[in-house]
Amino acid sequence: MQRFRTLLQWFCGGALALAISACSYPVSRDDKASLEYLLGQKLMLDLRYFCHQHDTEQVCRQPLLKLPEALAEVLRRGQIGGVILFADNIQETRQTMTLIDDMQQVMREAGLPPLLIAVDQEGGRVARLPEDMLVRFGGNMALGASAAVKGTTLATQVAELQAQRLKQLGFNVNFAPTVDVNINPQNPVINVRSYGESPQQVARLGQATVAALQQQGVASALKHFPGHGDTLVDSHIGLPRVDHDRATIDAVDLLPFQQIIASASAPALLMTAHIQYPQLDSSTFVTDDGRQIIVPATMSRAIITDLLRGDLGYQGVVISDALDMAGVAQYYSPLQATLATFAAGVDIALMPFKLRNDDDIEEFWRFQQQLVTALSQQPRAELEQSLARINALKQRFLADVDHSHSLQTRIEAFETRDRAFELALQDHLASAATTLIYDTGVLPLTQPHWHWLMPDALRCQAALHALAAEKSEYSADCISLAHLPSLPEESYWRDDAVIIVGDITPAHSLAELGGMDDIHTARPRATAAARQAWLQQALTGRSQVVVYATLRSPYSAADFTDYADAATASFDYSAFQDDQAGVTSPAIRALVQALLNNDWPGTLPVTVSLPAELLKQ
């Protein structure tokens, strides 16, 4: 075996850029080490935080910015197939490229296949790269709002640019797009991450995104199969259940997946959902505490193998959603979850074991050996078919990795990119997505003073800056609602003012914050219910014109029809520090322009429940 590794290193390591397509990394059928290799290739680890000296009473929050030898050994000895990076791992260009290069160098020197390096860069609120490395863009529902006029053009342009930047940095997998059809206004985790409520539009925009990502050399991971669009529970903190009948499942939930899988640009990967679908699989398992639970889709052979591979004909790599999410972790141990995932037919287990310190590494080796022991009792053929799919994925998207250019040359190429084009595209999407929900005849705004009520201080700064840039002769003030203040005195409200409420309902999900590690660190803020109650009390009986501006999910406009004379949708509220312009937000800037000019290019991609008289406006 060692001689085989030496030859493989000589042939596939040093000549990787030219010869990887000839390297299938064969696995012997009767060598135990080969089973460890096969298993390692089926794991994608997160290396978000790592603390050598760790107090067990404290949660490790030291971002991993460079590769320590202890984790290099995990990659090498564990023969690991992939790694996912988070925002904490990505601070600036040189550091990110060096971290990824060092991980790939470990694999080359060990004669192992290169790593899949993945990231969640959907755009909008789920974006791991800093704004100065890649602009966030408006996200999927903004693209859905622009589609009536722009079709799939903006979706293609955004995905192309995302892929180009990701590939330059060293990433080869993007966990995007989300093609869940958001038909539940109360959905806490998908909402604006969806293109909308039309399965056909979701399919069109999703297909354009997949094609653009993969044409630029980054593998797309379609998610979350079989559909997360009609849920009331975030699978990070619980196990959602969808009780659609089979006809609805086929016509709504599965349609985008089915159409994109059948297209010429089928996704290289597909991510599962930790979600119950009784009409697809009503079988149950018994938890450690004796509860009988319907099996989640990630662990369902009927859903992953029979439906996805059999009925839909998907031939690519299936990857689980993160196995540390409560939708799985509250019912399964890491070992049970990983084994159940593989038994269902999933190729890669994402984040199956948390590595945060040296003690975790020792536990990981025990975890690995337990997996090897369990899998050694299973027929090998299906595991080897899974490995073949992973190999094919790597050969397709990692074959043109070029190590001939120095790190400095690649950094300079990245940092001299056309930043102006990125910003222009960001502005173009923000403008194209800006949508009027209703207007009782108060637009365009001509009032010389604007009272802004915004979610936080950063959004206040962005709003004040946007108005000053468009109408320097106007005046404005802003109240931050991050921590609800006392209601203003009556003398605060100027008679010649307009009141503009910027709302970001619902609260951030853990997917937007980064993942399960953030459940311990989310900063307390006013709840959506408390913020809405404060706003409704503040707006009651106001004689001034009131505009309710949804900066996130547009559904909340339905709760303010008794208080607001007009309502708008932007689907995004990202704001960032511009060295020249101060705090700026493309979405808020586009909102100000639309309010002044009464120009609304966007079309609502979801239904907002409005009174009949407003629907006629």
* pLDDT score recorded for residue 86: 97
Are residues 305 and 441 located together in one domain of the fold?
no
Q: Is the pLDDT of residue 534 over 80?
A: yes
Highest mean pLDDT among 18-22, 435-439, 525-529: 435-439
* pLDDT score recorded for residue 164: 97
Are residues 451 and 577 located together in one domain of the fold?
yes
Last residue of one domain, picked from the residues 355, 385, 415? 415
Q: For residue 21, is it within any domain?
A: no
| Pick from 486, 482, 503, 615: nearest CA to 554 | 503
Q: Is the pLDDT of residue 603 over 70?
A: yes
CATH number of the domain where residue 155 is located:
3.20.20.300
Backbone angles phi, psi at 155, to 5 degrees: -60, -40
Are residues 486 and 379 located together in one domain of the fold?
no
Active site residues: 321
Are residues 200 and 233 located together in one domain of the fold?
yes
Structure tokens at 270: 């597909």
* pLDDT score recorded for residue 186: 92
Last residue of one domain, picked from the residues 359, 386, 415? 415
Backbone angles phi, psi at 435, to 5 degrees: -130, 140
Structural domain total, the chain: 2
Contact between 435 and 599 (Cβ < 8 Å):
no
Per-residue pLDDT reduced to its tens digit, 295-342: 999 999 999 999 999 999 999 999 999 999 988 989 999 999 999 999
Contact between 604 and 610 (Cβ < 8 Å):
no
Q: Which DSSP helix (H) or strand (E) runs through 69?
A: helix 69-78
Are residues 98 and 239 located together in one domain of the fold?
yes
| Structural domain span for residue 477 | 434-615
Are residues 352 and 203 located together in one domain of the fold?
yes
Mean pLDDT of 169-194: 96
Are residues 454 and 399 located together in one domain of the fold?
no
Q: Is the pLDDT of residue 385 over 70?
A: yes
Q: For residue 549, is it within any domain?
A: yes
pLDDT band at 353 (very low <50, low <70, confident <90, very high): very high
Q: How far is 170 from 164, CA to CA, in rounded Å?
A: 10
Percent of the chain with pLDDT over 70: 89
Reading phi first (left if > 0) and then psi (alpha if -120 to 50, else beta), residue 357 is in beta
Are residues 449 and 388 located together in one domain of the fold?
no
* pLDDT score recorded for residue 506: 78
Last residue of one domain, picked from the residues 415, 450, 482? 415
Higher pLDDT, 1 or 48: 48
Contact between 181 and 202 (Cβ < 8 Å):
yes
Q: For residue 103, is it within any domain?
A: yes
Report the range of poorest mean pLDDT among 42-46, 141-145, 239-243: 239-243
CATH number of the domain where residue 510 is located:
3.40.50.1700
Q: How far is 184 from 198, CA to CA, in rounded Å?
A: 12
Q: For residue 232, is it within any domain?
A: yes
* pLDDT score recorded for residue 49: 96
* Chain-centre distance for alpha carbon 88: 15
Per-residue pLDDT reduced to its tens digit, 279-290: 999 999 988 778
Average pLDDT for the chain:
90
* pLDDT score recorded for residue 379: 84
* pLDDT score recorded for residue 8: 34
Determine how β-strand 576-578 pairs with β-strand 582-584: antiparallel
Per-residue pLDDT reduced to its tens digit, 223-258: 999 999 999 877 677 899 999 999 999 999 999 999
pLDDT band at 513 (very low <50, low <70, confident <90, very high): low
pLDDT band at 528 (very low <50, low <70, confident <90, very high): confident
Q: For residue 424, is it within any domain?
A: no
Q: For residue 1, is it within any domain?
A: no
Are residues 544 and 407 located together in one domain of the fold?
no
Biggest CA pair distance of the chain: 84
Are residues 411 and 539 located together in one domain of the fold?
no
Q: Is the pLDDT of residue 31 over 50?
A: no
Contact between 24 and 399 (Cβ < 8 Å):
no
Q: How far is 551 from 434, CA to CA, in rounded Å?
A: 10
Q: For residue 605, is it within any domain?
A: yes
Q: For residue 6, is it within any domain?
A: no
Are residues 147 and 213 located together in one domain of the fold?
yes
Are residues 264 and 326 located together in one domain of the fold?
yes
Q: How far is 140 from 122, CA to CA, in rounded Å?
A: 8
